[in-house]
Structure 1
Amino acid sequence: MRRPLLLLAVLVLTATGLVAPTAATTAPRAPAVATSPAPPLRYVALGDSYSAASGVLPPDPAAPLVCLRSARSYPHVLAARTGARFTDVTCGAAETGDFFESQHPGVPPQLDALSRRTDLVTMTIGGNDSGVFIGAILACGVAGVSSLGRGNPCEQQHGDSFEQTVRDTTYPSLVRALRAVHRRAPSARVAILGYPWIVPRRDGCFAQMPIARGDVPYLRSLQRTLNDAVRRAARATGSTYVDLNRASDGHDACQPIGTRWVEPILLGTNPVVVHPNARGERAMARQVVRRLRLR
């Protein structure tokens, strides 16, 4: 009687799921399928000196000397973090026109680096167009020295001419350049960065940035207008805008070493003044990673 009862108990428990089936009744496992890793991103970096990190050491040994390209630029940081197959054609002082034409002898147009196989494109561009952005900083610096830092001599001399040039000339040039990028690299994600703040909201630091106190808000407004032109051009062309306004606030050229992302005209650590330092370039790379959700 015990053996039939035991067999009956096992059958009941098995049917109710309280006893696991034996190995003989277990379904065979499917063999593991090996998966190949995803191919690396084909990444092309375009743009001006903010993309090239001009003045940040060490220089990129593969770059033309005239481009002042650094091995610690935000594109280099991005490429290292993502393991991308990386092409860098950034060049100091580049304008949107240098996307289409050679900037220097032996330096091809930047658009030549793109192809239908490109996966990712980044850039900062527009600040040198018409000499507006950097030209305004230099003009305001001269005016600030002449007034010994008092008043707003630069605004009095130039009024809204700089901002009007950004709206009327720089903006359409940005749209043209971005559309050309999309035509050359139709499958790529295209990201264009704004420029990190160069001066604080008010007061300034006349010893390091020779801008008259009243012209600090004037230059801040000009940069806001430039970044807004970049943002609008990105939206008009289906590109991604990487906003640095909030992230870079409090990291302008008037801040101490270790806090600032941009070096001042005097007493800075970068031989190319009013440009991002290595800390600023790393911060720009972080914003691209977050905005594009790159791994």
Structure 2
Amino acid sequence: MINVVRTQIAAAITTAITAGLALVAAAPVQATPGLSPYVAMGDSYSAGSGIIPLDPTVTPVCARTTRNYPNLVAKSLGLASFTDVTCGDADTSHFYQKQWPSLTPQLDAVTADTKLVTLTIGGNNNDTLIKVISACISAGSATVGLGNPCEEIYGTRFVDDILNKTFPDVKKALTDIRAKAPSAKVAIVGYPQVMPADNTNCFLTMPIAKGDVPYINNIQGTLNSVVKRAADETGATFVDMSSSVGHDACKPIGTRWVEPAVWGLNFVPIHPNATGMQKMADQVLAAIR
């Protein structure tokens, strides 16, 4: 399933580059003092992967959009200095080493002068979240939505990895950001709700067995909880996305903030749509103001 999704993404990126390189114009706003320079870091949930237009300044494999929440935050605050190093499929290791040959380690963008850093990270560490969901889709498809095959296959593996590996990795990343930019406001954004919080399912668009919905929700809840804990222990601001409950990938167009695996609007499935990016931006702005 993962390989199929990647093939679809690769094909769609070519179409998106052709269709959407024009930048979205924004009305000038009064600059917010004390928050510039601003550096945006993180993975596909920061990059807005799957939304067009794509950012022409970065390799297309990042699938970064000019409509991601960092761009929306920078425009809303009227910041003169803004650096976006977000990239799809990034994990915390890519803060310290190149993710792709044309990229530099994300942490290199942070300097002593940086005044604001935002990021969403941790979801790709140890194959968590999207890859978990992809694995559960494969398992659910095999049982035609019956039972809890994903939980039976993987058990506590993902939660254990989040608690024992992802947490220290995210905490280290936040600690190192603080060390490089001691006067910066650092805001780490949680992951919006992917599956219904009431544990119902929508097998035609998210082909996950009904019994595995609470399993996935527990994994995502654990991930967000360790991100919050890492923020609390390093003096960063945790941006809570619990407002996304009720706007999961099973909801109809216009209500959902995250697109489903099948029949979605984004060319990268199971990621926030443009509305989701705006809502994430709104939460960041509320938190840092």
Equivalent residue, structure 2, for 1:8: none
Any idea what the Cα deviations from partners look like across 1:148-198, whole Å, max 9, x if unmatched? 001111111111111011000000000111111111111100000100000
Structure 1 residues 214 and 110: alpha-carbon distance in aligned structure 2, compared to 1, 3 A threshold: same
Query: Does the 8 A contact of 2:32 with 2:77 survive in 1?
Result: no
Structure 1 residues 287 and 147: alpha-carbon distance in aligned structure 2, compared to 1, 3 A threshold: same
Q: How many Å separate the matches in 1 of 2:124 and 2:32?
A: 41
Equivalent residue, structure 1, for 2:88: 92
Aligned pairs for 1:138-149 within 5 A = 138-149=134-145
1:151 and 2:147 matched = yes
After superposition, the CA RMSD in angstroms is: 1.3
Equivalent residue, structure 2, for 1:231: 228
**Aligned counterpart for 2:164 among listed residues 162, 165, 168:** 168
Any idea what the Cα deviations from partners look like across 1:66-107, whole Å, max 9, x if unmatched? 211100000000010001121000000000010011111020
Q: What are the ranges of 5 or more consecutive residues in structure 2 without an aligned counterpart? A: 1-30
Equivalent residue, structure 2, for 1:72: 67
After TM superposition, the score normalised by the length of structure 2 is 0.87
Greater Cα offset, 56-65 or 102-111: 56-65
Query: Does the 8 A contact of 2:41 with 2:106 survive in 1?
Result: yes
Task: Please give the secondary structure, in 1, of the residue aligned with 2:272.
Answer: coil
Q: Which has the higher contact order (CA 8 A, sep 6+)?
A: 2
* Matched letter for residue 220 of structure 1: N
Percent pairwise identity? 50
* Matched letter for residue 125 of structure 2: D
Equivalent residue, structure 2, for 1:7: none
Larger radius of gyration: 1
**Aligned counterpart for 1:213 among listed residues 210, 214, 227:** 210
1:205 Cα deviation (Å)?
Answer: 0.3
Task: Please give the secondary structure, in 2, of the residue aligned with 1:192.
Answer: strand
Aligned pairs for 1:169-208 within 5 A = 169-201=165-197, 202-208=199-205
Q: How many Å separate the matches in 1 of 2:146 and 2:47?
A: 34
Q: How many Å separate the matches in 2 of 1:186 and 1:101?
A: 22
Q: What are the ranges of 5 or more consecutive residues in structure 1 without an aligned counterpart? A: 1-35
Aligned pairs for 1:81-160 within 5 A = 81-84=76-79, 85-160=81-156
Runs of 4+ in 1 over 6 A off after TM superposition: none
Query: Does the 8 A contact of 1:40 with 1:83 survive in 2?
Result: no
Query: Does the 8 A contact of 1:251 with 1:262 survive in 2?
Result: yes
1:278 and 2:266 matched = no
